[in-house]
Structure 1
Amino acid sequence: MQTSTQAKSIFDDDPLLQTRQKAAYPNLKQTWLLLPVWLGFAIVTIVFIYFYTSMTGKVWEEQPLFTILISVIWLTAIFLLAYSQKSKAEPGFKLSAKFPPVQILLLLLLIVPSSLIACIGILEWLQVPLWSKLTSYVVGITAPTPITYISYLLIFPVMEEILYRGIILDGLLKSYSPRKAILNNALFIGVLCLDPTLMIVGFLGSLLHGWMYYKTHNISLNIYTRMLFNLFPILVVGATDRKDPGGSLEELLAGGDPVIVAVSLLVLGISLFLLHRILISINKNII
Structure 2
Amino acid sequence: MIETLPESEIQASINQPAAYPTVKESWGALGWFMLLALVLGFLSIPFLRFTTHAQAIIVTVVASDLAKALIIVFLLWKIPSVRRQPIRLLASREIPLVYLLLPLLVFAQMALRTLVVFLHLPNWMSDSMQKLSAFPGLSFFVICISAPILEELLFRGLLLPGLLKNYSPRKAIIQSSLLFGIIHLNPAQVVSAFLLGLFLGWLYYRTHSLAACIVVHFLNNAVAWKALQNPKWQNVDDPIALLPGGSTLLLMIVIAAVIFAGGTWLIWRATQQSVAMRETSIDSLER
Is the pair's TM-score, using the shorter chain for normalization, greater than 0.5?
Answer: yes
Aligned residues: 262
Equivalent position of 2:66 in the other structure: 73
Corresponding position of 2:171? 180
Which letter maps to 2:275? N
Does 2:32 align with 1:40?
no
The counterpart of 1:207, out of the listed 198, 202, 219, is: 198
Per-residue CA deviations over 1:187-217 (Å, capped at 9, x if unaligned) read 2222222222211112111111111111222
- Mapped partners of 1:244, 1:67: distance in 2: 23
Report if aligned partners of 1:182, 1:207 keep a CA contact under 8 Å in 2.
Answer: yes
Unaligned runs of 5+ in 1: 1-17
- Does residue 197 (structure 1) correspond to residue 188 (structure 2)? The answer is yes
Pick from 92, 107, 110 the counterpart of residue 104 of structure 2. 110
Percent sequence identity over matched residues?
24
1:14 match = none
> In the alignment, residue 106 of structure 1 is paired with which amino acid?
L
Question: Relative contact order: is structure 1 or structure 2 higher (C-alpha 8 Å, sep ≥ 6)?
Answer: 1
1:194 alignment partner, SS class? coil
Worse-superposed segment, 249-258 or 212-221: 249-258
Q: Distance in 1 between matches of 2:265 and 2:191?
A: 22
Partner of 1:3: none
* Residues in 2 aligned to 1:134 and 1:155: alpha-carbon distance in whole angstroms: 18
Q: What are the superposed Cα offsets for residues 34-74 of structure 1, whole Å, 9 maximum, x if unpaired?
A: 22212212322332344433x316457x8443222111211
| Aligned pairs for 1:223-242 within 5 A | 223-238=214-229, 240=230
**CA deviations over 1:93-145 (Å, ceiling 9, x no partner):** 3524258433212211111122112211x22333347xx77876767563243
Correspondence for 2:139 among 118, 143, 148: 148
Aligned partner (choices 41, 44, 47) of residue 52 of structure 1: 47
- Tell me which of 114, 125, 128 is aligned to 2:118: 125
1:180/1:142 CA distance change after superposition, 3 Å: same
Aligned to 2:257: 265
Could you tell me which residue of structure 1 aligns to residue 267 of structure 2?
A: 275
Q: TM-score, structure 1 length as denominator?
A: 0.76
Task: For residue 150 of structure 1, give the secondary structure of its aligned residue in structure 2.
Answer: helix
Give the counterpart letter for 2:185 in structure 1: L
Given residue 284 of structure 1, which amino acid in structure 2 is its aligned partner? A
Pair 1:133–1:205, CA change in 2 (3 A): farther
Cα distance change, pair 21–37 in 1 and its aligned pair in 2 (3 A): farther
Letter in 2 for 1:27: T
One-letter code of the match for 1:154? I
**Match for 1:25: what amino acid?**
Y
